[in-house]
Structure 1
């Protein structure tokens, strides 16, 4: 089977290789290549990387081709280039047997429309809420467009024959589907749990010296404010004087100098470290084992893979109640999105409570086992079989 995968992700072409700063490393294509003879990734191109090459993941590999579209994620693109882009997408879709449209994305919408016209099998992957994402993006045009973006995705999900969600409930309620073939599992890839990870964490919590800085960690894309880093910085600034020594470590790509300036303006420049992107999964897990508390302060979410990965490394964790995060963390460990005062108070209480740290570590490690590949893969395979059969 020849598969076309469509999404708005930006990839970086350097010579003969294609790279990504996000989640689309070469190993991530394997779940599709297990069922397809080859695939074409249709996405956007970023001309220059924002970070060193060693912080990027190689996306190119055998049996995977890339086709880059001009940016349609703005008003000019939607109004002036959509017709020509649809013709281009139809040509691509004709050369493939099936389409996977990762949503929300404008390129995904094009792929769905082209698949319908060309009568090709189409799977809609719903991984986020465009209404929340655009509402918090910052621009007036984005906030104005947010209700329309949500309505467009609801229309696509209702008409889909094959649909998948990364949440168990949140996105399904926002964007219900009439599909006969539905998958509701995270796209995270977790290894088998190791009891030694939990044991080491509990020993560290019990032995934490009172004067040793607690390492607070966060992972997220920093090109905009959706992941809530600004909320975490303001929260930490409010309660810093009431907390034991801490150090904030942030992983993610974006304008790190601008974020350093924000931290400096809040008096946090001496305790905040921006570490750039970490490309390899094994290195991410190692980094998560090195921190003491993970925070997911997002303004908008689907189901954050970074939080699940932190949980599998037995990280105590708190976060906002955005998107599917309440499916992962209990209510007492959550605050309303954007509420820096509440997040600061929760942060101050949790880091001062070793017994909570131990309970959270154990609970999260146990919860993460339900996301291990050995648990989710049979469910994914059943969905794939129905998709391949066209049921």
Structure 2
């Protein structure tokens, strides 16, 4: 029986006694994907406890192959003394598994890679984001170590034998590998019936006086950029140009709530909080414009999901976003005045054009198409390591 170890920092959300695990970032579909390599899939990462009330907003992981190995948090200064304990857990887990799948960037994943590589364990890397952008846009402390961390992951990718990048170009250019690689998003897009586009076109034709903008992203990290949109909404409000802005995502809303209060836009901006996957698609159908104002990304899943619902989209010009949407709907990350300009110039003709283009592009991310591409790479990985 082959045992698969999936390594990431997480956290994976759980209840107090760790008897229930919630599929916020990780779900049964992902576990089924990794079960291609074995009928036991262990997740090695940190955990975070959510209340019973919060848990009702999430789906539950039920896949029979799933199990969990917890790594203590060692990433903060106060918790750094736990690194030796964490390293011991990571090495033991690597020793006990046959296939190691690493999602990078990840502090746990970096340790696992160096050890697994030293003992010739089969390692498959998923490169999903740029660590430099994440740290540089986090706070002043991040700026001090951004270049150092980027070089660290560049070195790992140079040594990697097999890598799946979620972008087609961006991550490959920053983190090139000498090994085998493909570009393949991990997004799940199934329903692409033309009726979705037709409903969107009708919605655009009958736009309300106040348009609703939406973003789906973690709400507790500054680099997702929702604060820039809130500021743009406030500037437009002073000009008597109104937009509603709905923010979907998990995390502590304290920081964003303070910004909403600071700019006096509580009447226009709403933090929805986390939604289950099927609810996200319903949410996307209710908005008039999707915006991804991120300062760090890989290939943002939420943008592709919005494309699959024929949403007109505005996005920052970073990472994989320019690979997805019209160049004329991109703005420089952090440029609030450009967001304001875009929103002031919106019209039905442009919105319909973007909706059609985005829906057509979404077809290239159909689940069955990506699954074929990914499984072919999985097959090659198994053959290269002589895995039965």
Establish whether TM, by shorter chain, passes 0.5: yes
Q: Distance in 2 between matches of 1:128 and 1:294?
A: 21
Which residue in the other structure is 2:68 paired with?
66
Which residue in the other structure is 2:182 paired with?
183
Which residue in the other structure is 1:171 paired with?
171
- 1:364 matched to 2:358? The reply is yes
Deviates more, 1:35-44 or 1:69-78: 69-78
Which residue in the other structure is 1:382 paired with?
376
Q: Which runs of 5 or more residues in structure 1 are unaligned?
A: none
TM-score (norm 1): 0.93
Q: Give 1:231's match in structure 2, choosing from 228, 252, 264.
A: 228
Deviates more, 1:110-119 or 1:301-310: 110-119
* Preserved CA contact (<8 Å) 2:192 2:363: yes
What is the correspondence of 1:101-140 to structure 2 with a 5 Å cutoff? 101-138=102-139, 140=140
Q: Structure 1 residue 51: deviation in Å? A: 6.7
Q: Give 1:272's match in structure 2, choosing from 259, 269, 287.
A: 269
TM-score (norm 2): 0.94
Which residue in the other structure is 1:287 paired with?
283
Which residue in the other structure is 1:97 paired with?
98
Q: Distance in 1 between matches of 2:314 and 2:24?
A: 23
What is the correspondence of 1:70-85 to structure 2 with a 5 Å cutoff? 70-75=72-77, 80-85=81-86
* Preserved CA contact (<8 Å) 1:93 1:118: no
Deviates more, 1:27-36 or 1:46-55: 46-55
Q: Structure 1 residue 329: deviation in Å? A: 1.2
Residues 260-290 of structure 1, C-alpha deviation per residue, up to 9 Å, x if partnerless? 23112212110111111012x2211111111
Which residue in the other structure is 1:219 paired with?
216
Residues 211-231 of structure 1, C-alpha deviation per residue, up to 9 Å, x if partnerless? 3x2111111101111110111
What is the correspondence of 1:12-51 to structure 2 with a 5 Å cutoff? 12-14=13-15, 15-20=17-22, 22-49=24-51
Q: Distance in 1 between matches of 2:23 and 2:221?
A: 15
- 1:157 matched to 2:153? The reply is no
- Structure 1 48/197 Cα, relative in aligned 2: closer, same or farther at 3 Å? closer
* Preserved CA contact (<8 Å) 1:7 1:107: yes
Q: Structure 1 residue 379: deviation in Å? A: 0.7
Q: Give 1:298's match in structure 2, choosing from 290, 294, 299.
A: 294
Residues 221-251 of structure 1, C-alpha deviation per residue, up to 9 Å, x if partnerless? 0111111011111122122355754211110
Aligned length, in residue pairs? 383
* Preserved CA contact (<8 Å) 1:17 1:60: no
Q: Which runs of 5 or more residues in structure 2 are unaligned?
A: none
Q: Distance in 2 between matches of 1:386 and 1:144?
A: 39
